[in-house]
Amino acid sequence: MCIGVAPPPKAPWPHPFIAREGWPFLALAFLAAVTTTWFAGWLWAIPVWLGAFFAARFFRDPARYAPQGDGLVLSPTDGRVVAVEESDDPWLNRRALKISVFMNVFNAQSNRSPVDGEVKGRWHTPGKFADTMPAKASGNIQRNALWFQTRAGQDIICVQVAGQIARRILCYVEPGHQLNRGERYGFIRFGSRFDVYLPLGARPRVALGDKVSASSDVLAQL
């Protein structure tokens, strides 16, 4: 069971409940549902309305409270923890604690900053769309990596990894951006994986199989 920190009575509401990336899809889905209902009736329209409901659920972007505390590294995404291990960090050429979170199509897909700090670097690696489970994932999968440096000078790498269904990795920040923990910076369409590389001295606060929520759950403590 992942360890969380109790939120205050009311969470902030920094953006609409439906992610802006979903507005065109949602508009088309509901237009198709209304049109089918009008011309073909409710019986034929039921599957279309279910598709519209799924689109609304997929593109949800709920407000989340970011726990406060020294050295906390929050989950950048919703999903299930599939790796907690020592690994090579190919972006900063170091040994690191790697925590991987697998996202399916039923998870909220917004990506949020795990720490307060500055974006020091960004790398986009073109590649294939393939199975992103750690046991099967290869090194030529499309990915986008961000290098965060905390205000205490500690380096964290967050990697958006494209999957078999994911066809679009969106990242809205560049080197020089200052982000607060829990602040939204990207989106992955239709499920994927997120890798977080931490200094070896970091203490994991999650275990394999734990379900985590972006901004709300703590992955590790520096």
**Annotation marks residue 87 as catalytic:** no
Question: Is 159 buried (19+), middle (13-18) or exposed (0-12) by CB count in 10 A?
Answer: buried
Question: Is 9 buried (19+), middle (13-18) or exposed (0-12) by CB count in 10 A?
Answer: exposed
Q: What is the DSSP letter of 143?
A: E
CA 137: distance to chain centroid?
18
Contact 121, 91 (CB under 8 A): yes
Q: Which of 192, 213, 215, 216 is catalytic?
A: 192
Q: What is the DSSP letter of 6?
A: P
User: Roughly what angle, to the nearest 10 degrees, separates helices 23-40 and 42-58?
Assistant: 170
Q: In a 3-state reduction of DSSP, which class is residue 135?
A: coil
- What are the residue numbers of the active site? 192
